[in-house]
Amino acid sequence: MKMVFLGPPGAGKGTIAARAKEAYGIVHISTGDLFRAAIKNETELGKKVKAILAAGDLVPDSVTIEMVRQRIAQPDCEKGFILDGFPRTVAQADALTGMTGLDAVVNFVVPKEVVVRRLSGRRMCPSTGRIYHIEFGPPKVEGIDDETGEPLIQRPDDREETIVNRLEVYDRSTAPLIDYYRQKGLIVDIDGSGSPQHVFELMDAALKAL
């Protein structure tokens, strides 16, 4: 199964992708995670994109498209994949069409005030990228990753000033992809406002009904 997860920052794409990856035995490709790994490893790509991520702006299409092209050409993607956070612009979506077919584009629908609460309480394990929420999905010990024991961090772009810009960028550049994929008959709308388990079950049923 080849899928795109669409929805605003904080909609729960990464959380549901972590479950879907296990349930369906497919690869989870998060462009945000790939950029954060490059920044952490101080690669050329990382140096190029660091300030862009910190500001909550989009990395140029050419850079992002090339990174995804290389990733989905890897043999582990043959059985299927979830693209989480890509495409984010019409140019990226057009490029993706030239790279692969898709079975579904899951559109997670979540009210803006919920998204803001989710983003501002999000915490992350710096080495594994595992996601928590201070209220909705806390670790067993406050501030500590359940498995690695590392201190959790708040992503710099999850601070309030940057959240506002990211949501504007989403409305301007990414939300038009909902119509783009609806016209292609690929959109599966999922109410993302319930618990992760509930959202996963809604999606699973919708995908099985395709």
Binding site for ligand ADP (CB under 6 A): 7, 9-15, 30-32, 35, 52-53, 56-59, 64, 85-88, 92, 118, 121-122, 131-133, 136-137, 157, 166, 195-196, 199
Nearest-approach distance from CB 88 to ligand ADP, in angstroms: 4
For residue 149, the one-letter residue type is G
Separation of alpha carbons 83 and 92, rounded Å = 12
Residue nearest to ligand ADP (CB): 32
Minimal distance, residue 163 CB to ligand ADP, in Å: 9
What does the alpha-carbon distance between residue 167 and residue 173 come to, in Å, rounded to a whole number? 10
Name the minimum Å distance from CB 110 to ligand ADP. Answer: 8
- 118 vs 180, beta carbon nearer ligand ADP: 118
Longest Cα–Cα distance in the chain:
46
Closest to ligand ADP by CB, 46 vs 121, is 121
Known catalytic residue at 13: yes
Q: If residue 38 lies in a helix (H) or strand (E), which one and from where to where?
A: helix 31-40
Q: Is 155 a catalytic residue?
A: yes
Catalytic residue, from 36, 122, 123, 130: name it. 122
Closest contact distance (angstroms) between CB of 25 and ligand ADP is: 20
Q: Reply yes or no on whether 166 is catalytic.
A: yes
| Nearer residue to ligand ADP within complex by CB, 81 or 86 | 86
Q: Which of 36, 88, 118, 130 is labelled catalytic?
A: 88
Cβ contact 77:71 at 8 Å: yes
